[in-house]
């Protein structure tokens, strides 16, 4: 697809920021297991922490294609940082913009877009993954407050976030209609981080287990209407899957670039290994797969901007890009030979970072299940 001038500008802003502020330090931050907090303030200063949010609330007011392009650029520099950016932008900031009151937008949303706070979404629990409706965290009404008790897992920015968007059951007998979403500052006394996970990749962000022990949240901090929480939390599922596809493309692109650079420098049998057909053809195949992934996510993002149902296209983009990224990163390691297995070269880290894209925002198996249910209407299927 052809990008508009604004979309190109946002991509260039994100690319320049990633190359200047992230790429030179990503390996160091990966080894340290964290990122300086001020990095996200800098990201906010160039509009990356509220890309789609209305300027009234401190956002850039851009479209979804622009956001996806920005995510790809940040991910090409570091996957873990792009995931922090994604969580802050959508679902948290987008959900508050769409379903929050003006007071909630003023008190919470403006802090997210300015970088003062980071946002975290608290949906997954230790016993639930893709089955979001099976959550057990409870919120019981007590006068003008709700009392929350529960245990959340795999929470991106669980320790570093300033505001938590929490999904909890308010009516156990109502099924999916008995789930409510809350927002609360993480300095709430009942909010407790009980573990920071040690991970294969995305080590530049914190992934936590969080418990709520009789945590009190005012009724005024219900997001949207009681009982509509699952729809609010999952209402932007397609956005999350397209963003994950963009992250995967960014990681794959970084692996491709690393492999290409190494192939031009490394010599074997008297010439650069790029001049050997086995290597040049491998790189050609890698480049084709990266571009295919990019076009899939851009197509889905454009559909979303046009107000079209893009659930199928989002799942296709996420499925293809996530699995493609691991293949491309693996090939980049192979091009490097033994050096690719060492953390002296970036492909080792890239390989670790891209593996998770087949898991979060719906596993590859879930995407296949969803796509199979939406086969009607594809050219060549059933007539």
Copy the structure tokens of residue 269. 């049998």
231 φ/ψ angles, rounded to the nearest 5 degrees: -65, -35
Per-residue pLDDT tens over the stretch 310-354: 999 999 999 999 999 999 999 999 999 999 999 999 999 999 999
Is residue 133 predicted with pLDDT exceeding 90?
A: no
Query: By the 8 A CB rule, do 224 and 99 touch?
Result: yes
Copy the structure tokens of residue 292. 């295919």
Q: Quick one: average pLDDT of 155-168?
A: 97
Per-residue pLDDT tens over the stretch 10-47: 999 999 999 999 999 999 999 999 999 999 999 999 99
**pTM for this predicted structure:** 0.96
Per-residue pLDDT tens over the stretch 267-295: 999 999 999 999 999 999 999 999 999 99
Per-residue pLDDT tens over the stretch 241-252: 999 999 999 999
How many CA atoms are closer than 13 Å to the CA of 32, on its beta-carbon side?
10
Provide the mean pLDDT of the chain: 96
Percent of the chain with pLDDT strictly greater than 90 = 94
CA 333/CA 58 separation, integer angstroms:
42
Q: Quick one: average pLDDT of 145-153?
A: 98
What is the pLDDT confidence band of residue 378, given thresholds at 50, 70 and 90?
A: confident
Output the pLDDT for position 131: 74
What is the pLDDT confidence band of residue 130, given thresholds at 50, 70 and 90?
A: low
Output the pLDDT for position 234: 86
Is residue 383 predicted with pLDDT exceeding 70?
A: no
> Which residue in 161, 160, 124, 194 sits closest to 34, CA to CA?
160
376 φ/ψ angles, rounded to the nearest 5 degrees: -60, 135
Is residue 57 predicted with pLDDT exceeding 80?
A: yes
Positive or negative: CA dihedral 275, 276, 280, 283: negative
Output the pLDDT for position 381: 67
Q: Give the Å distances, CA to CA, from 254 to 72, 328, 367.
A: 10, 10, 25
Indicate the Cα dihedral angle 153, 233, 15, 343, nearest 10°. 20
Is residue 380 predicted with pLDDT exceeding 70?
A: no
Residues involved in catalysis: 361
């Amino acid at each position: 697809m052809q990008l508009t001038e604004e979309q190109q500008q946002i991509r260039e802003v994100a690319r320049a920021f990633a190359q200047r502020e992230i790429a030179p330090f990503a390996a160091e931050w990966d080894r340290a297991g964290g990122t300086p907090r001020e990095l996200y303030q800098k990201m906010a200063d160039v509009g990356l922490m509220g890309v789609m949010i209305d300027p009234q609330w401190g956002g850039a007011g851009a479209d979804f294609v622009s956001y996806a392009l920005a995510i790809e650029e940040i991910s090409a520099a570091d996957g873990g940082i792009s995931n922090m950016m994604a969580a802050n932008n959508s679902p948290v900031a987008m959900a508050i913009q769409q379903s929050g009151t003006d007071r909630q937008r003023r008190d919470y949303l403006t802090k997210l877009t300015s970088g003062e706070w980071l946002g975290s979404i608290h949906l997954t629990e230790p016993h639930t993954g893709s089955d979001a409706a099976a959550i057990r965290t409870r919120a019981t009404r007590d006068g003008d407050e709700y009392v929350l008790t529960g245990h959340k897992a795999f929470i991106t920015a669980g320790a570093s976030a300033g505001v938590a968007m929490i999904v909890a059951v308010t009516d156990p007998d109502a099924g999916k209609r008995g789930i409510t979403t809350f927002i609360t500052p993480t300095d709430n006394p009942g909010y407790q981080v009980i573990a920071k996970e040690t991970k294969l990749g995305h080590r530049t962000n914190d992934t936590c287990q969080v418990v709520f022990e009789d945590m009190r949240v005012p009724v005024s901090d219900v997001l949207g209407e009681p009982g509509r929480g699952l729809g609010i939390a999952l209402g932007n599922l397609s956005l999350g899957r397209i963003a994950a596809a963009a992250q995967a493309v960014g990681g794959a692109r970084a692996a491709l670039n690393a492999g290409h650079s190494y192939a031009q420098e490394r010599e074997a049998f008297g010439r650069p290994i790029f001049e050997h057909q086995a290597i040049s053809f491998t790189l050609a195949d890698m480049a084709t797969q990266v571009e295919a992934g990019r076009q899939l996510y851009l197509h889905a993002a454009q559909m979303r901007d046009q107000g079209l149902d893009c659930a199928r296209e989002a799942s296709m983009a996420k499925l293809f890009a996530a699995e493609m990224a691991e293949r491309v990163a693996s090939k980049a390691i192979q091009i490097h030979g033994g050096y690719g297995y060492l953390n002296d070269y970036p492909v080792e880290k890239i390989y670790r970072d891209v593996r998770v894209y087949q898991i979060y925002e719906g596993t590859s198996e879930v995407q296949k299940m969803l796509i199979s249910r939406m086969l009607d209407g594809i050219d060549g299927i059933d007539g």
